[in-house]
Structure 1
């Protein structure tokens, strides 16, 4: 998929994204998406505003169609007849021509040689794991490594068969999940106590409120993969085992009625993912 977007200073950006990549368009910045290859592209869009939808998106074809030709002529400095054949209905998604060479598009839009200082895409799927173990991998994109993404953070989680996304919670944002492949089982613990366990497969959506403890098990025989999205500039999580192993062991032993020797065996490095022993 080819994306285009200018930054707030009008510096244009165009790039191609592939499977596993992210793009981020700041609110109010005009942008476009074009399918590449013979099969186009399919993607999941996440907004930092729950009211966002295609029905409150300003389309350039709508603006042209609802502006008098004489005003368009004044605005663009060409005769009004130039706009005699503009579409009178909005073009939200339509069939066009497959884009040509990326370098040619970049040359065409960079007339003044201005480019944004930071990219609007991030190759999350091929980035180095933030956490990695025999149980799987976690890759994170937030404003720390994807500078332009100031309102959304994401974590791509891969859990190996028999593995578990460790018991944890997120202190700074709710988590919205989209399951990409495999079979997962998530349990969420709320106050009360109230707990809910559900199974998830490709195309399913999970949701966990901020500060609620949860874990995800791979209950299939292939890798489980999902992406978690957070409305925040920074990804944060607190590991249950990391917290307890950095609390005085005598206190934990009294609280949970386990001996200190057992507590000493618990992971103390917030591994993110564990494999069934």
Structure 2
């Protein structure tokens, strides 16, 4: 019975994928066979490029397809099956709704994407710091530093957290102090905090932890004076990106701001580029020798091809809220595909500095005759390449 079912299933699949053998293009082929479901109207996007491909006979999510046209209609330069899915949309992630609190986590890198927040932190050495972080501003907390984040904007605030370990939310790595307080005997709490005996335990009204975000009122922004002093200068956990000047890309296609240990000394395990690409611009072909690249798209739409070597390449499309991970030493680019809107995204690395190698610069600084022979192009074409890293190139058409 099982064998006959599998045979029938295999037969149904093979019939569903069979198309006419005549000379008409894939887009003009007509289905004349009977189907288990009514023949539906033609979709806007089908896996058809020229004479290759065929219409999908079964179900298809056209909203997702339209956001990922290069998945359904990959460019001819895509090849092989060795490049896995390197993209994920935050829209598909589980949403944890809670009333929140005060947390301690792994090394945490945060950036405000909308609004403003008030951030306080206390270190193991007894130093503290309080700062207001506006849109674009960044903070970094080394592992185990207790901190609190409070929204200040009337319409709410959003921030993105990045961790250098994937198990940041595992049991024992993150906790809220209200959870700890409510799971400690009252007499221990009184002894620990030096509180007098009372018929009403001092923390009897503390609620059991309901998550990491709670409703509250904005405080006066006053930080108690620490005996060990405040975190300032090179020991500060705050980087005011919103007040920094971006670097104009030599290629003329946009601008970027690098945030790593060279200008944010406290950061030792995470480095980043905030990249803005103009309409028609493109992050040039490059690779990163120091580790994998994690991307988060803040504004606009884009596409990028990841090349892993050995003839393995795959193209992805991105929009607001999408994330991706490009393996270390994988060649890639990011192109702004919007006709009207700039592209803004983050490049983040598990490293103390941002490093990348430009393909064009590498070719321009290698012996021209060697490059010309390898690529079967003229020596003059190689000599015309820019010797300076372009970072983001503009549309020249």
Q: Deviations over 1:200-231 (max 9, x none)?
A: 11111121010000001111121011001111
Whether the aligned pair in 2 keeps the contact of 1:37 and 1:98 (CA below 8 Å) is no
Q: Counterparts of 1:49-64 in structure 2 under 5 Å? A: 49-53=165-169, 56-64=173-181
> Which of residues 357, 364, 367 in structure 2 aligns to 1:238?
357
> Which of residues 178, 182, 188 in structure 2 aligns to 1:71?
188
Q: In the aligned structure 2, how far is the partner of 1:130 from the partner of 1:124?
A: 12
Q: Tell me the equivalent position of 1:270.
A: 389
Q: Tell me the equivalent position of 1:32.
A: 148
Q: What is the aligned residue count?
A: 272
Q: In the aligned structure 2, how far is the partner of 1:8 from the partner of 1:129?
A: 34
Q: In the aligned structure 2, how far is the partner of 1:184 from the partner of 1:271?
A: 19
Q: Counterparts of 1:66-105 in structure 2 under 5 Å? A: 66-80=183-197, 81-100=201-220, 102=221, 105=222
Q: In the aligned structure 2, how far is the partner of 1:110 from the partner of 1:131?
A: 41
Q: How far apart are 1:267 and its partner, in Å? A: 1.6
Whether the aligned pair in 2 keeps the contact of 1:20 and 1:126 (CA below 8 Å) is no
Q: Counterparts of 1:88-237 in structure 2 under 5 Å? A: 88-100=208-220, 102=221, 105-106=222-223, 109-112=224-227, 114-117=229-232, 118-133=235-250, 134-221=252-339, 222-237=341-356
Whether the aligned pair in 2 keeps the contact of 1:176 and 1:205 (CA below 8 Å) is yes
Q: Deviations over 1:105-128 (max 9, x none)?
A: 13xx22437112422111234423
Distance 1:238 1:8, change over 3 A: farther
Q: In the aligned structure 1, how far is the partner of 2:352 from the partner of 2:123?
A: 18
Q: How far apart are 1:130 and its partner, in Å? A: 4.1
Aligned residue for 1:205, secondary structure, equals strand
> Which of residues 361, 364, 369 in structure 2 aligns to 1:250?
369
Aligned residue for 1:156, secondary structure, equals strand
Distance 1:73 1:52, change over 3 A: same
Q: How far apart are 1:259 and its partner, in Å? A: 1.5
Q: How far apart are 1:17 and its partner, in Å? A: 0.3
Q: How far apart are 1:83 and its partner, in Å? A: 1.8
Whether the aligned pair in 2 keeps the contact of 1:125 and 1:139 (CA below 8 Å) is no
Aligned residue for 2:119, secondary structure, equals strand
Q: In the aligned structure 2, how far is the partner of 1:124 from the partner of 1:212?
A: 28
Q: How far apart are 1:91 and its partner, in Å? A: 4.5
Whether the aligned pair in 2 keeps the contact of 1:61 and 1:91 (CA below 8 Å) is no
Q: In the aligned structure 1, how far is the partner of 2:247 from the partner of 2:207?
A: 47
Distance 1:249 1:3, change over 3 A: same
| Structure showing greater Rg | 2
**Residues 1:47 and 2:163 aligned together:** yes
Q: How far apart are 1:254 and its partner, in Å? A: 1.1
Q: In the aligned structure 1, how far is the partner of 2:353 from the partner of 2:124?
A: 22
> Which of residues 127, 131, 148 in structure 2 aligns to 1:15?
131
Q: TM-score, normalised by structure 2?
A: 0.66
Q: How far apart are 1:131 and its partner, in Å? A: 4.9
Q: How far apart are 1:53 and its partner, in Å? A: 2.1
Q: Deviations over 1:236-277 (max 9, x none)?
A: 111111111111111111111112221222121112000121
